[in-house]
Amino acid sequence: MFLNRSSNEASVLTKSLANLVAISALGASVLWAQAPSASQPSGGEAAPPSDCIPASTDVLAAQYPCIYPDRRVMLRIKAPDAQHVQALIGGGGGQTPTMDMMKQPDGYWTLTTPPIVEGFHYYQFYVDGVEMGDPGSRTFFGEMREISGIEIPSPVPSDSFYQVQDVPHGEVRSVLYFSKVVGNWRRCLVYTPPDYDHQPHARYPVLYLLPGYGEDELGWFNQGRANVILDNLIAQKNAAPMLVVADDQFTALKPGEAPLVFGERRPGPGQRPNFGTYGQTFTEVIFSDLIPFIESSFRALTGRENRAMAGLSMGGMQTFLTTLPHLDQFAYVGGFSPGVPQNTFESAYKDPAAFNSQVKLLWLGTGTVEKAHNPNIFDLHEALNKAGVMNTYFESQGTAHEWLTWRRDLNDFAPRLFRRAGN
């Protein structure tokens, strides 16, 4: 049974300290208020060249990986007894080839990569064939495991939208809710805008934001910096203050239901799973559990015109599977490099006028690099245009199937949500 609104709001507020403790377990990267790396090397490790700056994603006092001004990355790992060490950086379809590292007399192996595209990238080492993370780097949940990650600074001034700025900041709250559908407790993260606790009578629309395959509910705030992006947009009055709810659709499993698993960690031809009934359970969770929880626990506006859903990659597929058959529940729909399930848009093609009258925004985005290899999203955009189905299309210049694409997507998508007359 859900608590009534007033008592549950009080419960949420009284648990704020507990939530902050829970958030701290997510790592400093959730709030992106991270201290600079120490200037002195540790453990006798050689200092990097003066123009190679330790990455913001390094652990405290680590000097490597470091980044040159031209975005080359210097990697270093100690493995004195190893015979062969390699590195792979930049997952998500835009990765470099696996690169051999060179052994140094002090037992460290080093590599300076070619310039890496700005933004966030996963990476790993292979030490005599064994995959491992970098002890000098923070880890992030991606590609179905904890993996090292690196943030490459962007030289593009317009990319300041995902950098922490001197503006009011919202909060990211870690909350538990019970799902009757799966019979277990689940965690979601909820971004509350900067004025949430200062405007006790204000109510807010809600964006439900989903990760891609291999990531979880932390991804949009750790890797994606969604809270920072919203803080900056709201401060500039470019987006309506809103709640943002991040959940993990892949863990929404009924007793005995098998998880979706790709054949390999890096899927290739013939290794894609049979999606079968993928997405059905999470759709049930959304309507039976998550929306009622959010609307009873937070000061959320109700009704379809106050709800949006978007997701990246397979989160985009889940968004289509959840929203398009239930347009009485959602008025705003976004697909960031989305998977496109068959027949999902059939009703839109059959009756574009009815679809257009219901949907306030159908938004599609892709990176120009991924478009060159997989034009499905652009093709969908053109097919919808030809059929008379209104949609908004966006391309992220120079990026692949990666987090900078999706950060830019969110930055374009969020300002289009929950527009009122005169705004």
pLDDT of residue 275: 63
Rg (CA), the chain: 22
- Give the helix/strand (H/E) hosting 187: strand 184-192
**Spacing of C-alpha 226 from chain mean position:** 7
**Spacing of C-alpha 353 from chain mean position:** 33
What are the sequence ranges of the domains in the chain?
Answer: 5-28+164-416, 41-153
Residue 204: DSSP 8-state: B
Separation between Cα atoms, residue 45 and residue 47, nearest integer Å: 6
Six token digits for residue 227:
């809270």
Sign of the Cα pseudo-torsion (70, 412, 252, 12, in order) = positive
pLDDT of residue 44: 54
Sign of the Cα pseudo-torsion (383, 413, 409, 330, in order) = negative
Q: Are strands 361-367 and 332-336 parallel, antiparallel or unpaired?
A: parallel
- Give the helix/strand (H/E) hosting 243: strand 243-246
| 41-153 CATH, one of 3.40.640.10, 2.60.40.10, 2.70.98.30, 3.40.50.2300 | 2.60.40.10
pLDDT of residue 276: 61
Q: Residues 296-325: pLDDT tens digits?
A: 999 999 999 999 999 999 999 999 999 999
pLDDT of residue 154: 86
- CATH for the stretch 5-28+164-416: 3.40.50.1820
Q: Is the peptide bond before 241 cis (omega within 30 degrees of 0)?
A: no
Residues in the chain with pLDDT values less than 50: 1-43, 92-94, 264-270, 421-422
Could you tell me the CA-to-CA distances from 326 to 87, 309, 338, 339, 416 in Å, in that order? 45, 12, 18, 18, 20
Q: Residues 346-358: pLDDT tens digits?
A: 999 999 999 999 9
Could you tell me the CA-to-CA distances from 249 to 106, 190, 211, 314 in Å, in that order? 46, 15, 8, 10
